[in-house]
A and B are shown apart, each in its own frame.
Chain A
């Protein structure tokens, strides 16, 4: 892993909905292979920040650079950009009318023009990677939450993204299923997948994150290496928040 190769950069990103200012001058740099964990109170703008990265919400001002290129200028480029950025949602959002493997096959076939057979092979391989190859033909409503979320991760990986965004991937799960999803995520991080993850699973953050970012009221208040953050170097607001979620 070449240490400081920048893959994503947010420069003074701000976002307003109507009159509500949700993000204010957010700056963030993500290096290749890094795992970044984003924490903060509800409504602080974590989801919005994540959605600015793949332009699901275009920033009101500021710049987003992906692999050194400014991406906010070209609204038509959004589809192309999103192929390179995988996203995992709190509620999984598997396509209800498709089986697990068909969920994974859809984008490679319709976006990349992959043949059905190749897409099927890719799908099976990814299901093995998330440890549920035997569930290939099951439909979302026949899978547990943890299994659905792992299929959702596999679906995102099928596009061979250069970066993965997770928005509270385990907060809709029963406790006994959280582990299996976090394990898949840390394996990916270990293999060098660049990740930005909104989560309040501090065990995962300690284990997998390179840096922790703390947001409040639309501002990034802290951005520190994991050891420093948990070692007591974080700013006072972040410390207070941390002690709240640890209880």
Chain B
């Protein structure tokens, strides 16, 4: 085994590109996944029956089948109905739709965690519906939603490796191809692992920073001299110890 080779792989063109593709797929899928989740969460709250049934069918479908199945289905089966996407977009669409099904539940429980009395109190002060949503409901829901949402985001980084089965040149596929071409499995996979760990670490730090930013009491603690970094670190530690079971998909 050669650490030099690991370092060489790390900065080689294919690995850099693979890492970039992994980041791109993750971020784009997360964006559309959160969007889909928000729409589904609001749709679940309507009293209009057809929409309700549609949402339930959606959730049933996307939670009830493996995400790997969904990726392959969109890439290989839809073209026979003349619906074609590139490998990259097939992956993104499958991951987004799948993510939406899980985000919906998280967002819905976040919105429900804000008691009706809080909204009524806002209305009684003369705030409009929109103001109540922006200044009372969403800020309180965001604090509830952020930890599980952060876990979903880190999960997405790892789940994105599944797109290698439809030949998207992501980090894992690059590593695997390099490994079998050079017969250097250890070094190639080591390099990929380092990238994955680095990326998940960045996500965790971002998640911790966001939680601190949304914690109203943190502002006061900071005024009293607690360093921001320490607060973030404490969040990350408490997240990693409570994250428990990752979603198995």
Complexed CA–CA distance, A66 and B222 (Å):
47
* Contact status A79-B118, CB under 8 Å: no
Complexed CA–CA distance, A56 and B220 (Å):
35
Contact partner of B216 (CB less than 8 A), chosen from A82, A89, A97, A110, is A97
Q: Is B57 an interface residue (CB 8 A)?
A: no
Minimum C-beta distance from B197 to chain A (A): 34
Q: Is A159 an interface residue (CB 8 A)?
A: yes
Complexed CA–CA distance, A156 and B124 (Å):
9
Interface string of A107-141 (1 = CB under 8 A from B): 10011000000000000000000000000010100
Which A residues are CB-close (under 8 A) to B128? 79
Q: Is B184 an interface residue (CB 8 A)?
A: no
* Contact status B117-A93, CB under 8 Å: yes
Which B residues are CB-close (under 8 A) to A54? 124
Which B residues are CB-close (under 8 A) to A81? 126
* Contact status B217-A106, CB under 8 Å: no
Which A residues are CB-close (under 8 A) to B140? 95-97
Q: Is A219 an interface residue (CB 8 A)?
A: no
Contact partner of B126 (CB less than 8 A), chosen from A83, A93, A98, is A83
Complexed CA–CA distance, A29 and B156 (Å):
62
Total interface residues on B, CB under 8 Å, equals: 20
* Stretch of B93-101, B131-139, B157-165 lying at the A interface: B131-139
Q: Is A39 an interface residue (CB 8 A)?
A: no
* Contact status B136-A95, CB under 8 Å: yes
Complexed CA–CA distance, A169 and B161 (Å):
57
* Contact status A156-B125, CB under 8 Å: yes
* Contact status A107-B126, CB under 8 Å: yes
CB closest residue in chain B, given A111:
B126
Q: Is B143 an interface residue (CB 8 A)?
A: yes
Q: Is the interface of B mostly helix, strand, loop or mixed?
A: helix
Complexed CA–CA distance, A117 and B216 (Å):
19
Q: Is A19 an interface residue (CB 8 A)?
A: no
* Contact status B216-A98, CB under 8 Å: yes
Given contacts A95-B136, A110-B131, A111-B131, contact A82 B217 (CB under 8 A): no
Q: Is A87 an interface residue (CB 8 A)?
A: yes
* Contact status A97-B121, CB under 8 Å: no
Which B residues are CB-close (under 8 A) to A79? 123, 126-128
Given contacts A79-B127, A155-B125, contact A139 B136 (CB under 8 A): no
* Contact status A56-B123, CB under 8 Å: yes
* Contact status B123-A106, CB under 8 Å: no
Complexed CA–CA distance, A156 and B123 (Å):
12
Chain B residues 197 to 249 lying within 8 A of chain A, measured CB to CB, are 216-217, 220
Which B residues are CB-close (under 8 A) to A94? 121
Minimum C-beta distance from B27 to chain A (A): 28
Minimum C-beta distance from B165 to chain A (A): 44
Which B residues are CB-close (under 8 A) to A156? 124-125
Which B residues are CB-close (under 8 A) to A96? 118, 140
* Contact status B120-A110, CB under 8 Å: no
Which B residues are CB-close (under 8 A) to A99? 216, 220
Minimum C-beta distance from B174 to chain A (A): 44
* Contact status B118-A56, CB under 8 Å: no
Interface string of A152-181 (1 = CB under 8 A from B): 000110010000000000000000000000
* Contact status B139-A93, CB under 8 Å: no
Q: Is A91 an interface residue (CB 8 A)?
A: yes
Q: Would you list the 10 A-B pairs with minimal beta carbon distance, nearest first?
A: A83-B126, A93-B121, A107-B125, A87-B124, A82-B126, A93-B117, A111-B126, A97-B140, A97-B139, A97-B216
Binding site for B on A (CB under 8 A): 54, 56, 79-83, 85-87, 89, 91, 93-99, 106-107, 110-111, 137, 139, 155-156, 159
